[in-house]
């Protein structure tokens, strides 16, 4: 999920579990703690592949919150205790339940961050540093206004209910129940979309093809479907609100020794791991030889003929020699705002 939504979730965690003990400070601290794991994006300064290697790594592990959270909680408690001491009173912060509340708030705010990231397609290293495996449920888009709005509504009630902590807690609990059900609904929709696509392929005389489905931006009901056929990829779109058959766009595989050569590089290995194996290769002739490209086909958007937005490319000379290591690239996404009305028509059938 985007960092803003992660901060909102952390604030709601603070509101539901710690508002009575810590007051509205728990909501502010929860919001800040909820964004901490995404600070790993600073790793992008280390090189062109660093963001793929380290984002959603150790800071997004299920172990990060339980291990690091107590340190954050203790530090926040010490800060507020120090500030109270300057005013001449630390009684409110000497109670053991206050320190425990800050520690548990930090643990839970950090722990929930990778859990909701799990429901997107990007891939989250939940077991780092014990494993580099990337987990993804393909249930929700990275940006979902319905998900965020539920959290915002609870926080507005929480801040407005200054003297009614029970109302604040109940509204936050309701928001957490809603986003949990909403996330599970997205997971079910994805499985249903895959089953629908497989059934259509069987009717078309193409049984046994592995099918994956990915959420599209802003909502959970419209899915991008990729059928991984032996001779290429079939890409289509499906809305649960429409009974229209999926229209497939074919992308045949290219078989070329140059692809094999580039795929053996360390950079291609990093990219393939990051893309969770969902990589599509192409070779295009150039005046000096060829350009070999690989794209991550988990991410594509309706209205664009591109299989993916980002990938790696390497130049090869006429003798088949790679002219330098593969480099990352990102494609322009075009004027997506102009296509938004038609996009919504596709969603609602």
Q: Is residue 306 part of a domain?
A: yes
Contacts of 97 (CB under 8 A, 6+ apart): 21
pLDDT of residue 337: 63
- Tokens representing 307 are 């299989």
The runs of H, that is alpha helices, within 204-274 are: 257-263, 266-274
Q: Is residue 230 part of a domain?
A: no
Q: Is residue 173 part of a domain?
A: no
Angle among Cα 333, 336, 342 to the nearest 5 degrees reads 140
pLDDT of residue 93: 73
Residue 100 burial by CB count (10 A; 0-12/13-18/19+): exposed, middle or buried? Answer: middle
pLDDT of residue 336: 59
Residue ranges of the chain with pLDDT lower than 70? 90-91, 333-337
- Tokens representing 152 are 């915002």
Three-state DSSP at 81 gives helix
Please say which residue of 81, 116, 136 terminates a domain.
136
Q: Is residue 323 part of a domain?
A: yes
**Separation between Cα atoms, residue 1 and residue 17, nearest integer Å:** 22
Total domains in the chain come to: 2
pTM (two decimals): 0.91
Q: Is residue 84 part of a domain?
A: yes
Q: Is residue 150 part of a domain?
A: no
- Tokens representing 303 are 């209205």
- Tokens representing 112 are 């929930």
Please say which residue of 136, 157, 178 terminates a domain.
136
pLDDT of residue 89: 75
DSSP state of 23: T
Q: Other C-beta atoms within 10 Å of 234: how many?
A: 22
pLDDT of residue 87: 81
**Separation between Cα atoms, residue 95 and residue 99, nearest integer Å:** 7
pLDDT of residue 348: 84
Strand-pair category, 222-229 with 210-215: antiparallel
pLDDT of residue 94: 77
pLDDT of residue 163: 81
Q: Is residue 164 part of a domain?
A: no
Per-residue buried b or exposed e for 295-327, using 16+ beta carbons within 10 Å of the residue's own CB: bbbbbbbbbeebbbbbbbbbbbeeeeebeeebe
Q: Other C-beta atoms within 10 Å of 251: how many?
A: 18
- Tokens representing 158 are 């929480």
Q: Which residue has 């596709």 as its token pair? A: 346
Contacts of 167 (CB under 8 A, 6+ apart): 157, 161
Complete edge-to-edge strand list for the sheet that includes strand 210-215: 210-215, 222-229, 232-239, 249-252
pLDDT of residue 333: 67
End-to-end CA separation in angstroms for the chain: 27
Owning domain of residue 49: 3-136
**Separation between Cα atoms, residue 338 and residue 187, nearest integer Å:** 29
Q: Is residue 60 part of a domain?
A: yes
Please say which residue of 73, 101, 136 terminates a domain.
136
pLDDT of residue 49: 94
Q: How far is CA 332 from CA 204, 253, 293, 296, 300, in A?
A: 34, 23, 16, 15, 12
């Amino acid at each position: 999920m985007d960092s803003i939504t992660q901060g909102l979730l952390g604030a709601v965690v603070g509101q539901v579990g710690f508002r009575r003990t810590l007051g509205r400070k728990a909501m502010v601290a929860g919001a800040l703690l909820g964004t901490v794991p995404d600070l790993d994006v600073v790793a992008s300064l280390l090189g062109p592949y660093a963001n793929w290697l380290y984002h959603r790594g150790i800071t997004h592990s299920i172990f990060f919150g339980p291990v690091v959270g107590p340190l954050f909680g203790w530090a926040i408690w010490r800060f507020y205790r120090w500030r109270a001491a300057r005013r001449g009173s630390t009684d409110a912060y000497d109670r053991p339940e206050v320190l425990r509340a800050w520690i548990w708030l930090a643990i839970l705010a950090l722990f929930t961050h990778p859990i909701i990231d799990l429901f997107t397609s990007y891939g989250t290293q939940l077991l780092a540093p014990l494993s580099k495996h990337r987990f993804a449920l393909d249930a929700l888009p990275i940006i979902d206004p319905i998900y965020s709005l539920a959290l915002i509504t609870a926080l507005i009630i929480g801040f407005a209910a200054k003297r009614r902590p029970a109302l604040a807690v109940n509204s936050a609990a309701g928001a957490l129940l809603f986003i949990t059900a909403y996330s599970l609904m997205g997971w079910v929709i994805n499985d249903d979309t895959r089953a629908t696509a497989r059934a259509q392929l069987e009717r078309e005389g193409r049984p046994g093809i592995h099918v994956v489905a990915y959420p599209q931006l802003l909502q959970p009901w419209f899915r991008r479907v990729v059928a991984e056929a032996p001779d290429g990829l079939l890409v289509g779109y499906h809305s649960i609100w429409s009974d229209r058959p999926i229209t497939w766009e074919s992308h045949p595989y290219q078989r070329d020794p140059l692809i094999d050569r580039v795929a053996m590089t360390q950079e291609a290995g990093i990219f393939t791991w990051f893309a969770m194996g969902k990589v599509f290769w192409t070779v295009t002739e150039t005046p000096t030889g060829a350009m070999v490209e690989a794209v991550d086909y988990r991410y594509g958007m309706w209205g664009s003929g591109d299989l993916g937005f980002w990938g790696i490319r390497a130049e090869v000379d006429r003798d088949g020699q790679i002219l330098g290591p593969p480099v990352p690239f990102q494609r322009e996404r075009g004027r997506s705002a102009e296509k938004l009305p038609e996009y919504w028509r596709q969603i609602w059938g």
